[in-house]
Structure 1
Amino acid sequence: MSPSARPEAAPLPLPRLIATDLDGTLLQDDKSVSARTVEALAAAEKAGIEVFFVTGRPARWMGVVSDHVHGHGLAICANGAAVVDLHRGGRIVKVRPLERTDAMAVVETLRRVAPGVSFAVERSQGIHYEPAYPPFYLDPAALTAPAEKLLSEAVTDGEGKPFADQPVLKLLAHHPTQDPDEFLALARAGAAEHAQFTRSSPTALLEISGLGVSKASTLAQCCAERGIAPHEVIAFGDMPNDLEMLAWAGTSYAMANAHPEVLAATDRHTGSNREDGVAAVIEGLLTGRS
Protein backbone atom coordinates (compact mmCIF):
# COMPACT_ATOMS: atom_id res chain seq x y z
CA MET A 1 0.00 0.00 0.00
CA SER A 2 1.30 3.42 -0.88
CA PRO A 3 0.94 6.41 1.47
CA SER A 4 -2.40 8.13 1.11
CA ALA A 5 -3.90 11.45 2.10
CA ARG A 6 -6.94 13.52 1.30
CA PRO A 7 -7.12 14.03 -2.48
CA GLU A 8 -6.64 17.81 -2.22
CA ALA A 9 -3.52 17.55 -0.07
CA ALA A 10 -0.44 19.16 -1.60
CA PRO A 11 3.02 17.60 -1.31
CA LEU A 12 4.43 18.14 2.16
CA PRO A 13 7.49 20.30 2.79
CA LEU A 14 10.43 18.51 4.33
CA PRO A 15 10.05 18.30 8.10
CA ARG A 16 12.84 19.07 10.53
CA LEU A 17 12.08 15.98 12.57
CA ILE A 18 10.48 12.54 12.17
CA ALA A 19 9.03 10.95 15.33
CA THR A 20 8.18 7.29 14.95
CA ASP A 21 6.80 4.59 17.18
CA LEU A 22 8.49 1.18 16.95
CA ASP A 23 6.31 -1.89 17.54
CA GLY A 24 3.57 -2.15 14.94
CA THR A 25 4.93 0.96 13.19
CA LEU A 26 8.62 1.04 12.24
CA LEU A 27 9.39 -2.59 13.08
CA GLN A 28 8.34 -5.68 11.20
CA ASP A 29 6.18 -8.23 13.04
CA ASP A 30 9.34 -10.19 13.95
CA LYS A 31 10.69 -6.98 15.61
CA SER A 32 13.34 -6.48 12.92
CA VAL A 33 14.09 -3.31 10.94
CA SER A 34 13.85 -3.89 7.21
CA ALA A 35 16.69 -2.92 4.90
CA ARG A 36 14.33 -0.51 3.15
CA THR A 37 13.55 1.24 6.43
CA VAL A 38 17.22 1.50 7.44
CA GLU A 39 17.96 3.06 4.04
CA ALA A 40 15.03 5.48 4.33
CA LEU A 41 16.09 6.65 7.81
CA ALA A 42 19.65 7.21 6.60
CA ALA A 43 18.36 9.17 3.59
CA ALA A 44 16.22 11.35 5.86
CA GLU A 45 19.23 12.23 7.98
CA LYS A 46 21.33 12.94 4.91
CA ALA A 47 18.62 15.44 3.95
CA GLY A 48 19.00 17.14 7.34
CA ILE A 49 15.95 15.60 9.05
CA GLU A 50 16.35 14.42 12.64
CA VAL A 51 14.79 11.10 13.65
CA PHE A 52 13.45 10.32 17.13
CA PHE A 53 12.30 6.85 18.12
CA VAL A 54 9.31 7.27 20.45
CA THR A 55 8.21 4.05 22.12
CA GLY A 56 6.65 2.38 25.11
CA ARG A 57 9.70 0.11 25.33
CA PRO A 58 12.20 0.48 28.15
CA ALA A 59 15.75 1.57 27.36
CA ARG A 60 17.10 -1.97 27.70
CA TRP A 61 14.91 -3.13 24.80
CA MET A 62 16.30 -0.63 22.31
CA GLY A 63 18.91 -2.95 20.82
CA VAL A 64 16.43 -3.64 18.03
CA VAL A 65 17.19 -0.19 16.55
CA SER A 66 20.49 0.81 18.17
CA ASP A 67 22.41 -1.36 15.69
CA HIS A 68 20.84 0.56 12.79
CA VAL A 69 21.13 4.16 13.94
CA HIS A 70 23.34 6.60 12.14
CA GLY A 71 22.96 10.17 13.36
CA HIS A 72 19.57 9.37 14.89
CA GLY A 73 20.61 8.32 18.36
CA LEU A 74 17.81 9.69 20.51
CA ALA A 75 14.95 7.56 21.81
CA ILE A 76 12.02 8.55 23.98
CA CYS A 77 11.23 5.41 25.96
CA ALA A 78 8.63 4.13 28.42
CA ASN A 79 5.93 6.34 26.88
CA GLY A 80 7.88 9.49 27.61
CA ALA A 81 9.25 8.65 31.05
CA ALA A 82 12.86 8.36 29.84
CA VAL A 83 15.00 9.92 27.12
CA VAL A 84 17.82 7.63 25.99
CA ASP A 85 21.03 8.30 24.07
CA LEU A 86 21.54 5.24 21.88
CA HIS A 87 25.03 6.39 20.91
CA ARG A 88 26.10 6.22 24.55
CA GLY A 89 25.15 2.64 25.31
CA GLY A 90 21.49 3.39 25.89
CA ARG A 91 22.24 5.83 28.69
CA ILE A 92 19.17 7.51 30.18
CA VAL A 93 19.69 11.26 29.94
CA LYS A 94 16.28 12.42 31.23
CA VAL A 95 13.71 10.85 33.58
CA ARG A 96 10.10 11.86 34.22
CA PRO A 97 9.08 9.45 36.99
CA LEU A 98 5.84 8.13 38.39
CA GLU A 99 5.90 9.19 42.03
CA ARG A 100 5.72 6.32 44.50
CA THR A 101 2.68 7.69 46.33
CA ASP A 102 0.74 8.03 43.09
CA ALA A 103 1.74 4.51 42.00
CA MET A 104 0.53 3.13 45.34
CA ALA A 105 -2.79 4.96 44.95
CA VAL A 106 -3.24 3.48 41.48
CA VAL A 107 -2.53 -0.04 42.76
CA GLU A 108 -5.06 0.40 45.57
CA THR A 109 -7.73 1.73 43.20
CA LEU A 110 -7.29 -0.93 40.52
CA ARG A 111 -7.34 -3.75 43.04
CA ARG A 112 -10.71 -2.41 44.21
CA VAL A 113 -12.36 -1.75 40.83
CA ALA A 114 -10.80 -4.63 38.86
CA PRO A 115 -10.29 -7.70 41.07
CA GLY A 116 -7.80 -10.08 39.49
CA VAL A 117 -5.45 -7.35 38.27
CA SER A 118 -1.69 -7.98 38.56
CA PHE A 119 1.17 -5.50 38.36
CA ALA A 120 4.74 -5.00 37.21
CA VAL A 121 6.94 -2.07 38.22
CA GLU A 122 9.33 -0.67 35.59
CA ARG A 123 12.23 1.15 37.22
CA SER A 124 15.09 2.92 35.47
CA GLN A 125 17.35 -0.14 35.81
CA GLY A 126 14.92 -3.02 35.34
CA ILE A 127 11.49 -4.49 35.85
CA HIS A 128 9.95 -6.27 38.85
CA TYR A 129 6.61 -8.04 38.97
CA GLU A 130 3.98 -9.82 40.98
CA PRO A 131 3.76 -13.64 40.94
CA ALA A 132 0.50 -13.53 38.95
CA TYR A 133 1.85 -11.17 36.28
CA PRO A 134 2.05 -12.91 32.86
CA PRO A 135 5.49 -14.35 31.99
CA PHE A 136 7.42 -12.36 29.40
CA TYR A 137 11.03 -11.31 28.87
CA LEU A 138 12.13 -12.16 32.40
CA ASP A 139 14.95 -10.09 33.81
CA PRO A 140 17.26 -12.32 35.87
CA ALA A 141 17.67 -9.47 38.37
CA ALA A 142 13.90 -8.97 38.79
CA LEU A 143 12.20 -9.26 42.14
CA THR A 144 8.90 -11.11 42.40
CA ALA A 145 6.67 -9.68 45.13
CA PRO A 146 3.36 -7.84 45.65
CA ALA A 147 3.32 -4.40 44.06
CA GLU A 148 2.97 -2.76 47.45
CA LYS A 149 6.34 -4.21 48.44
CA LEU A 150 7.95 -3.43 45.09
CA LEU A 151 6.91 0.21 45.51
CA SER A 152 7.84 0.58 49.17
CA GLU A 153 10.62 2.94 50.20
CA ALA A 154 12.39 0.08 51.98
CA VAL A 155 12.56 -2.34 49.01
CA THR A 156 16.05 -3.63 48.12
CA ASP A 157 17.52 -5.75 45.35
CA GLY A 158 18.85 -9.29 45.70
CA GLU A 159 22.08 -7.97 47.18
CA GLY A 160 20.33 -5.84 49.76
CA LYS A 161 20.92 -2.56 47.91
CA PRO A 162 18.02 -0.05 48.08
CA PHE A 163 16.10 0.98 44.99
CA ALA A 164 15.88 4.59 46.15
CA ASP A 165 18.10 5.75 43.27
CA GLN A 166 16.01 3.89 40.68
CA PRO A 167 12.92 5.99 39.89
CA VAL A 168 9.71 4.30 38.78
CA LEU A 169 9.26 4.92 35.06
CA LYS A 170 5.89 3.25 34.75
CA LEU A 171 3.51 0.80 36.34
CA LEU A 172 2.02 -2.01 34.26
CA ALA A 173 -1.39 -3.46 35.10
CA HIS A 174 -2.68 -6.66 33.50
CA HIS A 175 -6.13 -8.18 33.72
CA PRO A 176 -6.85 -11.71 32.44
CA THR A 177 -10.48 -11.18 31.38
CA GLN A 178 -11.20 -7.47 30.90
CA ASP A 179 -11.75 -6.00 27.43
CA PRO A 180 -8.61 -3.88 26.77
CA ASP A 181 -10.41 -0.63 25.96
CA GLU A 182 -12.95 -1.07 28.76
CA PHE A 183 -10.12 -1.72 31.23
CA LEU A 184 -8.43 1.50 30.14
CA ALA A 185 -11.65 3.47 30.60
CA LEU A 186 -12.22 1.90 34.02
CA ALA A 187 -8.73 2.81 35.21
CA ARG A 188 -8.98 6.38 33.96
CA ALA A 189 -12.34 6.83 35.67
CA GLY A 190 -10.98 5.55 38.97
CA ALA A 191 -7.48 7.01 39.21
CA ALA A 192 -6.94 9.75 36.61
CA GLU A 193 -5.91 12.21 39.33
CA HIS A 194 -2.86 10.07 40.15
CA ALA A 195 -1.37 9.07 36.81
CA GLN A 196 -1.49 8.95 33.03
CA PHE A 197 -3.07 5.79 31.58
CA THR A 198 -2.65 4.35 28.10
CA ARG A 199 -2.24 1.03 26.28
CA SER A 200 -0.34 -0.39 23.32
CA SER A 201 -0.91 -4.13 23.71
CA PRO A 202 -3.75 -6.16 22.15
CA THR A 203 -4.33 -7.60 25.63
CA ALA A 204 -5.76 -5.89 28.72
CA LEU A 205 -2.38 -4.42 29.68
CA LEU A 206 -2.29 -0.83 30.87
CA GLU A 207 0.81 1.37 30.87
CA ILE A 208 0.73 3.89 33.70
CA SER A 209 3.00 6.96 33.84
CA GLY A 210 3.34 10.06 35.97
CA LEU A 211 0.76 12.80 35.58
CA GLY A 212 1.38 14.72 32.38
CA VAL A 213 3.96 12.21 31.13
CA SER A 214 3.34 10.94 27.61
CA LYS A 215 5.10 10.44 24.33
CA ALA A 216 3.71 13.78 23.23
CA SER A 217 4.77 15.86 26.23
CA THR A 218 8.33 14.52 26.25
CA LEU A 219 8.62 14.89 22.49
CA ALA A 220 7.41 18.49 22.85
CA GLN A 221 10.11 19.16 25.47
CA CYS A 222 12.85 17.64 23.31
CA CYS A 223 11.72 19.59 20.26
CA ALA A 224 11.51 22.86 22.22
CA GLU A 225 15.11 22.34 23.35
CA ARG A 226 16.08 22.18 19.67
CA GLY A 227 13.90 25.05 18.50
CA ILE A 228 11.64 22.71 16.52
CA ALA A 229 7.95 23.66 16.29
CA PRO A 230 5.08 21.13 16.05
CA HIS A 231 4.40 22.03 12.41
CA GLU A 232 7.96 20.97 11.58
CA VAL A 233 7.38 17.41 12.87
CA ILE A 234 5.93 14.34 11.15
CA ALA A 235 4.84 11.50 13.45
CA PHE A 236 3.92 7.85 12.89
CA GLY A 237 1.99 5.50 15.18
CA ASP A 238 -0.48 2.67 15.49
CA MET A 239 -1.87 2.38 19.04
CA PRO A 240 -3.69 4.49 21.66
CA ASN A 241 -0.41 5.41 23.38
CA ASP A 242 0.48 7.27 20.15
CA LEU A 243 -2.68 9.39 19.98
CA GLU A 244 -1.39 12.44 21.86
CA MET A 245 1.85 12.47 19.87
CA LEU A 246 -0.06 12.21 16.60
CA ALA A 247 -2.31 15.08 17.67
CA TRP A 248 0.68 17.25 18.70
CA ALA A 249 2.72 16.84 15.52
CA GLY A 250 1.95 19.07 12.59
CA THR A 251 1.60 16.06 10.28
CA SER A 252 0.72 12.56 11.42
CA TYR A 253 0.31 9.18 9.79
CA ALA A 254 -1.54 6.14 11.11
CA MET A 255 -0.36 2.77 9.95
CA ALA A 256 -2.82 0.63 7.99
CA ASN A 257 -2.69 -1.87 10.86
CA ALA A 258 -3.46 0.80 13.47
CA HIS A 259 -6.08 0.66 16.22
CA PRO A 260 -9.45 1.98 14.92
CA GLU A 261 -9.23 5.00 17.23
CA VAL A 262 -5.86 5.94 15.73
CA LEU A 263 -7.13 5.54 12.17
CA ALA A 264 -10.12 7.75 12.98
CA ALA A 265 -7.96 10.45 14.57
CA THR A 266 -5.54 10.93 11.66
CA ASP A 267 -6.09 12.45 8.23
CA ARG A 268 -3.15 10.63 6.67
CA HIS A 269 -2.65 6.87 6.52
CA THR A 270 0.23 4.80 5.19
CA GLY A 271 0.92 1.13 4.59
CA SER A 272 1.20 -1.32 7.45
CA ASN A 273 4.41 -2.02 9.35
CA ARG A 274 4.74 -5.18 7.24
CA GLU A 275 4.64 -3.01 4.11
CA ASP A 276 7.32 -0.56 5.30
CA GLY A 277 4.72 2.20 5.61
CA VAL A 278 7.08 4.61 7.39
CA ALA A 279 9.79 4.11 4.76
CA ALA A 280 7.26 4.69 1.98
CA VAL A 281 6.29 8.09 3.39
CA ILE A 282 9.92 9.12 3.90
CA GLU A 283 10.74 8.13 0.34
CA GLY A 284 7.79 10.20 -0.86
CA LEU A 285 8.89 13.19 1.21
CA LEU A 286 12.37 13.11 -0.25
CA THR A 287 11.07 12.92 -3.83
CA GLY A 288 8.20 15.41 -3.37
CA ARG A 289 5.47 12.78 -3.63
CA SER A 290 4.06 12.88 -0.06
Structure 2
Amino acid sequence: MTSATERPEPQTPSTIRSAAIRLIATDLDGTLLRDDKTVSRRTIDALAAAERAGVEVFFVTGRPARWMDVVSDHVHGHGLAICANGAAVVDLHQGGRIIDVRALEREEALAVVAALRTAVPGTSFAVERTGGIHYEPDYPPFQLDPVATIASAEELLSLDAPNAAEPILKLLAFHPTLAPDDFLVTAREAAGVHGSITRSSPTALLEISGLGVSKASTLARCCAERGIGPSEVAAFGDMPNDLEMLSWAGTSYAMANAHPDVLTATSGHTVGNNDDGVAVIIERILAGADLP
Protein backbone atom coordinates (compact mmCIF):
# COMPACT_ATOMS: atom_id res chain seq x y z
CA MET A 1 0.00 0.00 0.00
CA THR A 2 1.33 3.46 -0.83
CA SER A 3 1.70 6.17 1.78
CA ALA A 4 -0.46 9.29 1.86
CA THR A 5 2.25 11.27 0.07
CA GLU A 6 3.55 8.64 -2.34
CA ARG A 7 2.53 9.03 -5.95
CA PRO A 8 1.64 5.94 -7.99
CA GLU A 9 4.17 4.93 -10.61
CA PRO A 10 3.20 6.74 -13.82
CA GLN A 11 2.37 4.75 -16.92
CA THR A 12 2.95 5.86 -20.51
CA PRO A 13 -0.48 6.47 -22.09
CA SER A 14 0.66 5.33 -25.53
CA THR A 15 2.02 1.98 -24.33
CA ILE A 16 0.06 -0.99 -25.66
CA ARG A 17 -1.29 -3.21 -22.87
CA SER A 18 -2.11 -6.85 -23.44
CA ALA A 19 -3.35 -7.91 -20.00
CA ALA A 20 -7.06 -8.51 -19.51
CA ILE A 21 -9.02 -5.67 -17.92
CA ARG A 22 -10.00 -6.53 -14.34
CA LEU A 23 -11.21 -3.12 -13.14
CA ILE A 24 -12.94 -0.15 -14.73
CA ALA A 25 -12.44 3.24 -13.07
CA THR A 26 -14.72 5.98 -14.30
CA ASP A 27 -15.27 9.61 -13.48
CA LEU A 28 -18.90 10.72 -13.20
CA ASP A 29 -19.68 14.30 -14.29
CA GLY A 30 -18.91 14.83 -17.96
CA THR A 31 -17.93 11.17 -18.28
CA LEU A 32 -20.35 8.48 -17.10
CA LEU A 33 -23.23 10.89 -16.48
CA ARG A 34 -25.04 12.70 -19.23
CA ASP A 35 -25.26 16.47 -18.98
CA ASP A 36 -28.63 16.17 -17.23
CA LYS A 37 -26.89 14.08 -14.52
CA THR A 38 -28.65 10.86 -15.47
CA VAL A 39 -27.21 7.45 -16.31
CA SER A 40 -28.48 6.08 -19.61
CA ARG A 41 -30.03 2.62 -19.93
CA ARG A 42 -27.15 1.57 -22.21
CA THR A 43 -24.62 2.59 -19.55
CA ILE A 44 -26.56 0.89 -16.76
CA ASP A 45 -26.60 -2.33 -18.78
CA ALA A 46 -22.87 -2.05 -19.59
CA LEU A 47 -21.94 -1.59 -15.91
CA ALA A 48 -24.04 -4.59 -14.92
CA ALA A 49 -22.53 -6.71 -17.69
CA ALA A 50 -19.01 -5.80 -16.57
CA GLU A 51 -19.70 -6.90 -13.02
CA ARG A 52 -21.30 -10.16 -14.22
CA ALA A 53 -18.13 -10.81 -16.22
CA GLY A 54 -16.02 -10.37 -13.09
CA VAL A 55 -14.75 -6.88 -13.94
CA GLU A 56 -14.99 -4.56 -10.95
CA VAL A 57 -16.31 -1.03 -11.45
CA PHE A 58 -15.09 1.91 -9.38
CA PHE A 59 -16.74 5.31 -9.55
CA VAL A 60 -13.90 7.81 -9.07
CA THR A 61 -15.14 11.36 -8.64
CA GLY A 62 -14.58 14.78 -7.16
CA ARG A 63 -18.08 14.62 -5.70
CA PRO A 64 -18.57 14.24 -1.95
CA ALA A 65 -20.25 11.11 -0.64
CA ARG A 66 -23.55 12.92 -0.12
CA TRP A 67 -23.81 13.58 -3.89
CA MET A 68 -23.49 9.94 -4.93
CA ASP A 69 -27.22 9.31 -5.17
CA VAL A 70 -26.93 9.74 -8.96
CA VAL A 71 -25.26 6.31 -9.22
CA SER A 72 -26.15 4.57 -5.96
CA ASP A 73 -28.88 2.55 -7.69
CA HIS A 74 -26.42 1.26 -10.28
CA VAL A 75 -23.71 -0.26 -8.10
CA HIS A 76 -23.03 -3.96 -8.15
CA GLY A 77 -20.52 -6.24 -6.48
CA HIS A 78 -18.34 -4.33 -4.05
CA GLY A 79 -20.26 -1.02 -4.25
CA LEU A 80 -17.22 1.13 -3.50
CA ALA A 81 -16.54 4.62 -4.79
CA ILE A 82 -13.59 6.98 -4.51
CA CYS A 83 -14.90 10.45 -3.68
CA ALA A 84 -13.55 13.97 -3.15
CA ASN A 85 -10.69 13.40 -5.64
CA GLY A 86 -9.27 10.52 -3.63
CA ALA A 87 -9.77 11.88 -0.12
CA ALA A 88 -12.50 9.37 0.76
CA VAL A 89 -13.42 5.80 -0.07
CA VAL A 90 -17.17 5.27 0.26
CA ASP A 91 -19.36 2.18 0.57
CA LEU A 92 -22.45 2.87 -1.53
CA HIS A 93 -24.11 -0.31 -0.26
CA GLN A 94 -24.13 1.30 3.18
CA GLY A 95 -25.72 4.60 2.28
CA GLY A 96 -22.48 6.31 1.32
CA ARG A 97 -20.62 5.51 4.53
CA ILE A 98 -17.02 6.74 4.42
CA ILE A 99 -14.71 3.82 5.15
CA ASP A 100 -11.32 5.45 4.52
CA VAL A 101 -10.12 9.06 4.70
CA ARG A 102 -6.96 10.77 3.44
CA ALA A 103 -7.35 14.13 5.10
CA LEU A 104 -6.00 17.58 4.33
CA GLU A 105 -4.27 18.75 7.49
CA ARG A 106 -5.66 21.90 9.09
CA GLU A 107 -2.30 23.72 9.07
CA GLU A 108 -1.83 23.05 5.36
CA ALA A 109 -5.36 24.24 4.58
CA LEU A 110 -4.69 27.48 6.45
CA ALA A 111 -1.42 27.91 4.57
CA VAL A 112 -3.27 27.53 1.23
CA VAL A 113 -5.85 30.13 2.28
CA ALA A 114 -3.13 32.60 3.29
CA ALA A 115 -1.16 32.06 0.09
CA LEU A 116 -4.17 32.49 -2.21
CA ARG A 117 -5.48 35.53 -0.38
CA THR A 118 -2.14 37.17 -1.16
CA ALA A 119 -1.62 35.82 -4.69
CA VAL A 120 -5.22 36.03 -5.93
CA PRO A 121 -7.27 38.68 -4.10
CA GLY A 122 -11.00 38.10 -4.33
CA THR A 123 -10.77 34.33 -3.80
CA SER A 124 -13.48 32.84 -1.60
CA PHE A 125 -13.30 29.47 0.12
CA ALA A 126 -15.28 26.47 1.29
CA VAL A 127 -14.21 23.64 3.57
CA GLU A 128 -15.44 20.11 2.78
CA ARG A 129 -15.34 17.90 5.87
CA THR A 130 -16.51 14.34 6.35
CA GLY A 131 -19.75 15.70 7.81
CA GLY A 132 -20.53 18.25 5.11
CA ILE A 133 -19.51 21.55 3.54
CA HIS A 134 -19.04 24.98 5.18
CA TYR A 135 -18.27 28.16 3.30
CA GLU A 136 -17.56 31.85 3.28
CA PRO A 137 -20.33 34.41 2.63
CA ASP A 138 -19.01 35.17 -0.88
CA TYR A 139 -18.57 31.52 -1.90
CA PRO A 140 -21.23 30.32 -4.39
CA PRO A 141 -22.16 26.77 -3.33
CA PHE A 142 -23.48 24.37 -5.95
CA GLN A 143 -26.26 23.52 -3.54
CA LEU A 144 -27.33 25.51 -0.50
CA ASP A 145 -26.76 23.46 2.61
CA PRO A 146 -29.09 24.39 5.50
CA VAL A 147 -26.68 23.01 8.10
CA ALA A 148 -23.55 24.66 6.70
CA THR A 149 -21.60 27.05 8.87
CA ILE A 150 -21.02 30.35 7.04
CA ALA A 151 -17.90 32.19 8.20
CA SER A 152 -14.42 33.13 7.05
CA ALA A 153 -12.14 30.27 6.05
CA GLU A 154 -9.88 31.07 8.96
CA GLU A 155 -12.83 30.65 11.34
CA LEU A 156 -14.01 27.50 9.59
CA LEU A 157 -10.52 26.02 10.01
CA SER A 158 -10.00 27.14 13.61
CA LEU A 159 -9.74 24.69 16.47
CA ASP A 160 -12.90 26.28 17.88
CA ALA A 161 -15.00 25.65 14.77
CA PRO A 162 -18.17 23.63 15.46
CA ASN A 163 -17.00 20.84 13.17
CA ALA A 164 -13.30 20.98 13.99
CA ALA A 165 -13.20 17.30 14.97
CA GLU A 166 -14.28 16.18 11.49
CA PRO A 167 -11.41 15.47 9.05
CA ILE A 168 -10.99 17.90 6.16
CA LEU A 169 -11.48 16.18 2.80
CA LYS A 170 -10.69 19.19 0.66
CA LEU A 171 -10.58 22.94 0.50
CA LEU A 172 -12.38 24.68 -2.36
CA ALA A 173 -11.32 28.04 -3.77
CA PHE A 174 -13.43 30.14 -6.14
CA HIS A 175 -12.61 33.27 -8.10
CA PRO A 176 -15.36 35.26 -9.83
CA THR A 177 -13.38 36.65 -12.77
CA LEU A 178 -10.23 34.62 -13.48
CA ALA A 179 -10.12 32.08 -16.30
CA PRO A 180 -10.23 28.59 -14.73
CA ASP A 181 -6.90 27.34 -16.11
CA ASP A 182 -5.14 30.60 -15.23
CA PHE A 183 -6.42 30.32 -11.68
CA LEU A 184 -5.12 26.75 -11.49
CA VAL A 185 -1.64 27.69 -12.68
CA THR A 186 -1.41 30.65 -10.30
CA ALA A 187 -2.70 28.64 -7.34
CA ARG A 188 -0.23 25.83 -7.91
CA GLU A 189 2.63 28.30 -8.06
CA ALA A 190 1.50 30.06 -4.89
CA ALA A 191 0.31 27.16 -2.75
CA GLY A 192 1.29 23.88 -4.40
CA VAL A 193 3.75 23.02 -1.63
CA HIS A 194 0.83 22.76 0.80
CA GLY A 195 -1.59 20.54 -1.10
CA SER A 196 -2.60 18.87 -4.35
CA ILE A 197 -4.51 21.46 -6.41
CA THR A 198 -6.76 20.56 -9.33
CA ARG A 199 -10.04 21.48 -10.99
CA SER A 200 -13.09 19.74 -12.43
CA SER A 201 -15.60 22.58 -12.79
CA PRO A 202 -16.13 24.73 -15.91
CA THR A 203 -15.87 27.73 -13.57
CA ALA A 204 -12.82 29.04 -11.73
CA LEU A 205 -13.30 26.60 -8.86
CA LEU A 206 -10.25 24.79 -7.51
CA GLU A 207 -10.14 21.71 -5.30
CA ILE A 208 -7.27 21.29 -2.83
CA SER A 209 -6.49 17.93 -1.22
CA GLY A 210 -3.63 16.76 0.96
CA LEU A 211 -0.23 16.47 -0.70
CA GLY A 212 -0.11 13.29 -2.78
CA VAL A 213 -3.85 12.73 -2.55
CA SER A 214 -5.49 12.28 -5.94
CA LYS A 215 -7.86 10.00 -7.78
CA ALA A 216 -4.80 8.13 -9.05
CA SER A 217 -3.06 7.55 -5.73
CA THR A 218 -6.19 6.32 -3.95
CA LEU A 219 -7.16 4.14 -6.91
CA ALA A 220 -3.65 2.67 -6.85
CA ARG A 221 -4.06 1.81 -3.15
CA CYS A 222 -7.46 0.18 -3.74
CA CYS A 223 -6.12 -1.81 -6.68
CA ALA A 224 -3.04 -2.96 -4.75
CA GLU A 225 -5.31 -4.29 -1.99
CA ARG A 226 -7.03 -6.41 -4.64
CA GLY A 227 -3.87 -7.56 -6.38
CA ILE A 228 -4.75 -5.55 -9.48
CA GLY A 229 -1.98 -3.83 -11.43
CA PRO A 230 -2.30 -0.67 -13.53
CA SER A 231 -2.10 -2.72 -16.74
CA GLU A 232 -5.37 -4.39 -15.70
CA VAL A 233 -7.26 -1.10 -15.26
CA ALA A 234 -9.26 0.86 -17.83
CA ALA A 235 -9.98 4.46 -16.79
CA PHE A 236 -12.26 7.18 -18.17
CA GLY A 237 -12.30 10.93 -17.56
CA ASP A 238 -12.71 14.42 -18.95
CA MET A 239 -11.14 17.06 -16.70
CA PRO A 240 -7.75 17.98 -15.19
CA ASN A 241 -8.56 16.18 -11.93
CA ASP A 242 -8.63 12.95 -14.01
CA LEU A 243 -5.20 13.38 -15.61
CA GLU A 244 -3.14 11.46 -13.05
CA MET A 245 -5.61 8.57 -13.01
CA LEU A 246 -5.68 8.40 -16.80
CA SER A 247 -1.87 8.41 -16.94
CA TRP A 248 -1.60 5.70 -14.27
CA ALA A 249 -4.08 3.26 -15.77
CA GLY A 250 -2.80 0.89 -18.43
CA THR A 251 -5.79 1.64 -20.66
CA SER A 252 -7.33 5.10 -20.55
CA TYR A 253 -9.91 7.09 -22.47
CA ALA A 254 -10.71 10.76 -22.74
CA MET A 255 -14.27 11.66 -23.58
CA ALA A 256 -14.84 13.58 -26.82
CA ASN A 257 -16.04 16.47 -24.64
CA ALA A 258 -12.89 16.42 -22.48
CA HIS A 259 -10.66 19.34 -21.53
CA PRO A 260 -7.92 19.91 -24.18
CA ASP A 261 -5.17 18.84 -21.74
CA VAL A 262 -6.95 15.53 -21.18
CA LEU A 263 -7.40 14.92 -24.90
CA THR A 264 -3.71 15.61 -25.47
CA ALA A 265 -2.46 13.42 -22.62
CA THR A 266 -4.63 10.38 -23.32
CA SER A 267 -3.96 7.92 -26.12
CA GLY A 268 -7.49 6.50 -26.16
CA HIS A 269 -10.52 8.60 -27.07
CA THR A 270 -14.20 7.72 -27.01
CA VAL A 271 -17.40 9.52 -27.91
CA GLY A 272 -18.90 12.11 -25.57
CA ASN A 273 -20.73 11.58 -22.31
CA ASN A 274 -24.11 12.29 -23.92
CA ASP A 275 -23.39 9.51 -26.44
CA ASP A 276 -22.56 6.85 -23.82
CA GLY A 277 -18.82 6.92 -24.46
CA VAL A 278 -17.99 4.80 -21.39
CA ALA A 279 -20.55 2.15 -22.33
CA VAL A 280 -19.18 1.99 -25.89
CA ILE A 281 -15.75 0.97 -24.61
CA ILE A 282 -17.03 -1.38 -21.89
CA GLU A 283 -19.02 -3.26 -24.51
CA ARG A 284 -15.90 -3.65 -26.67
CA ILE A 285 -13.84 -4.80 -23.68
CA LEU A 286 -16.40 -7.48 -22.78
CA ALA A 287 -16.67 -8.58 -26.42
CA GLY A 288 -12.90 -8.97 -26.69
CA ALA A 289 -12.91 -6.54 -29.59
CA ASP A 290 -9.99 -4.34 -30.63
CA LEU A 291 -9.96 -1.12 -28.62
CA PRO A 292 -9.72 2.30 -30.30
What TM-score do the two structures reach when normalised by structure 2?
0.92
Which residue is equivalent to 2:186?
Answer: 186
Structure 1 stretches of 4+ with a deviation exceeding 3 A read 8-14
Give the distance between the partners of 1:277 and 1:213, measured in 2 at CA. 27
- In structure 2, the residue matched to 1:195 is 195
Q: Separation in 2 of the partners of 1:66 and 1:135?
A: 23
Determine helix, strand or coil for the equivalent of 2:77. Answer: coil
Assess if the C-alpha contact under 8 Å between 2:17 and 2:251 holds in 1.
no
Q: Which runs of 5+ in 2 are unaligned?
A: 1-13
Structure 1 position 55 matched with structure 2 position 61:
yes
Distance 1:282 1:193, change over 3 A: same
Residue equivalent to 1:257: 257
SS at match of 1:227: coil
> Which amino acid is 1:31 matched to?
K
User: Matched residue of 1:208: which SS?
Assistant: strand
Amino-acid identity (%): 71
What residue in structure 2 maps to residue 95 of structure 1?
101
Q: What residue in structure 1 maps to residue 160 of structure 2?
A: 154
Deviations 1:86-136 (A, max 9, x none): 001110000000000000000001000101000010000100000000142
Q: Deviations over 1:165-213 (max 9, x none)?
A: 3101000000011111111010110111100000001111000000000
Secondary structure of 1:67 counterpart: helix
Partner of 1:226: 226
Asked if the contact 1:45–1:72 (Cα under 8 Å) also holds between the matched residues in 2, the reply is no
Distance 1:10 1:197 in 2: 30
- Give how far 1:145 is off: 0.4
For the residues of structure 2 that align with 1:269 and 1:12, how far apart are their CA atoms? 18
Taking structure 1 as the reference length, the TM-score comes to 0.93
Measure the CA separation in 2 of the matches of 1:24 and 1:186: 25
Provide closer, same or farther for how the CA distance between residues 136 and 9 of structure 1 changes in structure 2, counting only shifts above 3 A: closer
The RMSD of aligned alpha carbons is 1.5
Q: Is 1:68 paired with 2:74?
A: yes
Q: What corresponds to 1:5 in structure 2?
A: none
- 1:164 maps to which residue? 164
Equivalent position amino acid for 1:104 in 2: L
Structure 2 residue matching 1:84: 3-state secondary structure: strand
